[in-house]
A = this chain, B = another copy of it.
Amino acid sequence: MHAKVIPLSVPELREACSQCNLRELCLPMGLSDGELDQLDHLVEVRRRVQRGQHLYRGGDPFEAIFAIKTGFFKTDVLLEDGRDQVTGFQMAGEILGMDGIGSEKHTCNAVALEDSEVCIIPFAELESFSREISALQHHFHKMMSREIVRDHGVMMLLGVMRAEERLAAFLLNLSQRFTARGYSPTEFNLRMTRGEIGSYLGLKLETVSRAFSRFNEEGLISVHQKHIQIRDAAGLKKLLSERRA
């Protein structure tokens, strides 16, 4: 799929949460200035991950969670027989690695879909800080809980929706997340391939491609390769709420 194992320097940089423009989306959300100063000592090391590189792999020992500073990731799980399932796409301000806490090993792979930068949050220290800063503790619990709710949404998508509904839900979700980050709600570039979208949505890449074409013909969106423009968000939403039988 991507390059074997490129030996690569991953410079580790320092920057404080208190100056980060993602702090309203990310772990420090809702902390007071004083608490933010404390957090700066916890989350001070960053790491670059090149496009195609793994941030971690299933089975790696779990030591830290990661906050995405810039870039875009996918997470996936492999079955022994080679089949795999993309479990999510993550963008700036989102947290990676919480699946590893339970078993002290990462349980999925995290791969950068574009050159990215993550903040390293050593987990033992996060727990220790959480015991002192209850706002941090509570916010961390919320983030884990939201991950569970998000997964339920995907289960719903995979369990009950038809192909076009799944793709519509996917596009609306992306649009909403880009909006929260200050980007256009209606125009963006996909970072993932049709195959990766398909894996996430439980569809084959041909089906994803056909659904894109169909949305295009119907004037719901325009697609050119990875460039998407949403022309009729209401129409996409209607697809979701319409019972089919």
Is A146 part of the contact surface with B, judged by Cβ < 8 Å? yes
Q: A131-B137, A137-B127 are in contact. Are A155 and B146 (CB under 8 A)?
A: no
Counting every copy of the chain, the complex holds 2
- Pick from B127, B148, B159, B201: contact of A141, CB under 8 Å: B127
Within 8 A of B (CB), among A19-37: none
B99 and A152: CB pair below 8 A?
yes
Is A87 part of the contact surface with B, judged by Cβ < 8 Å? yes
B199 and A149: CB pair below 8 A?
no
Within 8 A of B (CB), among A25-61: none
Bound complex: CA A132 to CA B17 (Å): 26
A100 and B241: CB pair below 8 A?
no
A81 and B127: CB pair below 8 A?
no
Is A223 part of the contact surface with B, judged by Cβ < 8 Å? no
Mark each residue of chain A from 130 to 167: 1 if its CB lies under 8 Å from any CB of chain B, else 0. Answer: 11101001100111111111011111101110000000
Q: A158-B202, A160-B85 are in contact. Are A145 and B98 (CB under 8 A)?
A: yes
- Pick from B132, B146, B202: contact of A102, CB under 8 Å: B146
Is A83 part of the contact surface with B, judged by Cβ < 8 Å? yes
Within 8 A of B (CB), among A61-87: 77, 79-85, 87
Residue of B nearest to A104 (CB): B142
Known contacts A147-B148, A151-B152; 15 additional CB pairs below 8 A are A80-B241, A84-B160, A85-B159, A85-B160, A98-B144, A99-B152, A100-B145, A103-B146, A128-B134, A130-B130, A130-B131, A148-B148, A148-B151, A158-B202, A159-B202
